[in-house]
Chains A and B, each alone.
Chain A
């Protein structure tokens, strides 16, 4: 029974994560990630 419940928790999490990705993409977050990733990150380098 416990294993059965765990399986459904993981399936719920997978569905929930897909929903989060879709909502995030709808909110334009892909572009925000792209903008950050295509600019040299001075913090990552240890300068900014």
Chain B
């Protein structure tokens, strides 16, 4: 299953960045596909990007809300909210584990052997992406506006390391005009990117767990999504393999976390590693799972 996941992540990373021929005269793709929201975090200003970033688009709607209303353009970002709700309602945070290109980058860095003991994160840190979402994506773009009524895309401007990596560095390298306008803001974002990349080597998925507003949105759907993780504690042998392999540090076998915790990225590593099949990813009211697990209990019982 994990091989299929790697294939999916590479495929979606390619599809989101499938513009092969980049010309200096036309540094970013301007075709009709750019109106489609990609479900993962992938900067639309990347020279290779073929689709739009949902977080950037969402902030833009909030930042322009006042001016749009003054011009009688009642655009609330329903299209973007609908796309995010659709993916969230189907599989919760599965986009983070199976589709997101920035998640793939963090995963690749984490595979580099590390001579130090890898770090964990305290459970309290799980609230941080929700704060980033509320303040940087919703509140600040909506409330802090200039004299003309336009807000700014706070998360893109001050935090997003995906934007720096995928758009900032390539475009500044390609465009001399952009190079001349570099300010402290660009260096600030470079430092954030550097910290995130180094942290990805020491901590599993640090950006997803600490900063990503998109993950926070999808995570809110984890408990109500159509497909969800189901844990049969009656047949669990408490080996701890699921908690050891979990990239977001969830521990449900001891009852510390919920199996469908907001942090779960639905990578399904726990499903693959469980020796007795106590964890399944299926449609919410799938009764067959319990039946099949009962059969497995009988098979595992000592003679």
Given contacts A11-B226, A37-B57, A44-B167, contact A21 B186 (CB under 8 A): no
Say yes or no: B57 contacts A23, CB within 8 Å: no
Within 8 A of A (CB), among B73-87: 73-86
Is B270 among interface residues, defined by CB-CB distance under 8 A?
no
Within 8 A of A (CB), among B50-97: 51-53, 56-57, 60-61, 64, 73-86, 88-90
Closest to B73 in A: A28
With a CB–CB cut-off of 8 A, which chain A residues contact B283? 7
Segment from B37-45, B107-115, B127-135 that makes contact with A: B37-45
Say yes or no: B57 contacts A17, CB within 8 Å: no
- Chain B residues with a Cβ closer than 8 Å to the other chain, count: 67
Given contacts A14-B89, A24-B78, A24-B80, contact A44 B57 (CB under 8 A): no
Given contacts A7-B226, A45-B164, contact A13 B89 (CB under 8 A): yes
A14-48 interface code vs B (CB 8 A; 1 in, 0 out): 10111111111101111111101110111111111
Given contacts A17-B89, A46-B163, A47-B181, contact A41 B56 (CB under 8 A): yes
5 A-B pairs with least C-beta separation: A24-B79, A20-B82, A34-B35, A13-B89, A24-B78
Q: Measuring CB to CB, which residues of chain A are less than 8 angstroms from any residue of chain B?
A: 3-4, 6-7, 9-11, 13-14, 16-25, 27-34, 36-38, 40-48
Given A21-B86, A27-B74, A33-B34, 18 new contacts (CB under 8 A): A3-B284, A24-B75, A33-B37, A33-B57, A36-B44, A36-B60, A37-B53, A41-B45, A41-B163, A43-B163, A44-B45, A44-B167, A45-B163, A45-B167, A46-B182, A46-B188, A47-B178, A47-B181
